[in-house]
Amino acid sequence: MGNEGCGFNSCRSPEILIDRAVHAAIGRFLSSDAYVEDIEKLVLVREDFKQAMHGFLPVAMRGITKSTSEGGCTGWEDVGGLIDIRKSIQEMIELPSKFSNIFVQAPLRLRSNVLLYGPPGCGKTHIVGAAAAACSLRFISVKGPELLNKYIGASEQAVRDIFSKAAAAAPCLLFFDEFDSIAPKRGHDNTGVTDRVVNQVLTGVFVFAATSRPDLLDAALLRPGRLDRLLFCDFS
């Protein structure tokens, strides 16, 4: 079913989808003039799967917004200002998405992991949602404090779950807001929870992130190959 099937590779989603398609086929049969004895000849067709997918949310897609931000952003036309930031993001994710057959032959690694930083209220979160919409990417937005849990292992598990969900929902833009709350300089908290979260992030997927305090971030996350593109957002 092409892109419509993204997110169906989680453990039970395919089986559930097939069951829904079977019910759709039976409904189609019962509404026809066919004899009851002919039900054994019933076969699933594309329309049955289309009907089954209508309104169905795969396990991997729960909590994920498709091509929009929480504020209902629909694309670049909803962004005012931030022209340089917009151009940089277009070069990094929009052009490679639209012309993948060209970029796949590029001998250089494309930088697609971004840290947006700037004062609160300057549009960091909004422009990331616009980028996801413009590129038709599924959008997962996570606020840093929501991941923190003082129970040992809980925060790392939450990070792993988010990365797994993003991989299952690919193509997807995973965005961490208030990133400094989960990835500060290691050793700056008393419990060690954020230290363990930083270690988990370093071994996972590299994503878009935003912060108003880049000076508080762990420097290891800003090395080449990680969040190696820093974009400053202001009010102009």
Secondary structure of 65-134 in HEC code, one letter for each residue: EECCCCCCCCCHHHCCCCHHHHHHHHHHHHHHHHCHHHHCCCCCCCCCCEEEECCCCCCHHHHHHHHHHH
- List the domains of the chain with CATH numbers: 13-56 (no CATH), 81-232 (3.40.50.300)
pLDDT in tens, 107-117: 776 667 889 99
Amino acid at 144: G
Question: What pLDDT is attached to residue 58?
Answer: 62
Residue bearing the bigger pLDDT, 221 or 202: 221
Whether the CB-CB separation of 217 and 184 falls below 8 Å is answered with yes
What per-residue confidence (pLDDT) applies to 57?
62
Q: Are strands 138-143 and 172-177 parallel, antiparallel or unpaired?
A: parallel
Comparison of pLDDT for 5 and 87, the residue scoring more: 87
Long-range contacts of 186-193 (CB under 8 A, 24+ apart): 186/218, 186/220, 188/216, 191/150, 193/148, 193/149, 193/150, 193/152, 193/155
pLDDT at 117: 93
What is the C-alpha to C-alpha distance for residues 148 and 192, in angstroms, rounded to an integer? 11
The whole-angstrom separation of Cα 176 and Cα 96 is 22
Q: 51 or 148: whose pLDDT is higher?
A: 51
Q: Residue 164 in contact with residue 206, Cβ under 8 Å?
A: no
How far apart CA 71 and CA 17 sit, in angstroms, is 30
Distance in Å from the first CA to the final CA of the chain: 43
Predicted confidence at residue 201, as pLDDT, reads: 56
In this prediction, what percent of the chain has a pLDDT beyond 90? 4
Is 90 exceeded by the pLDDT of residue 103?
A: no
Q: What is the mean pLDDT of residues 150-177?
A: 76
Say how far apart CA 199 and CA 141 lie, in whole Å.
20
pLDDT for 81: 82
Write the pLDDT tens digit of every residue in 118-144.
Answer: 998 888 888 888 888 888 888 888 888
Residue 69 is predicted with a pLDDT of 45
Comparing 173 with 149, the larger pLDDT belongs to 173
Please confirm whether the linkage preceding 171 is cis (ω < 30° from 0).
Answer: yes
pLDDT score of 33 more than 90: no
Q: Give pTM, 2 decimals.
A: 0.66
What is the CB-side half-sphere exposure of residue 34 using CA atoms within 13 A? 15
Backbone angles phi, psi at 123, to 5 degrees: 105, 20
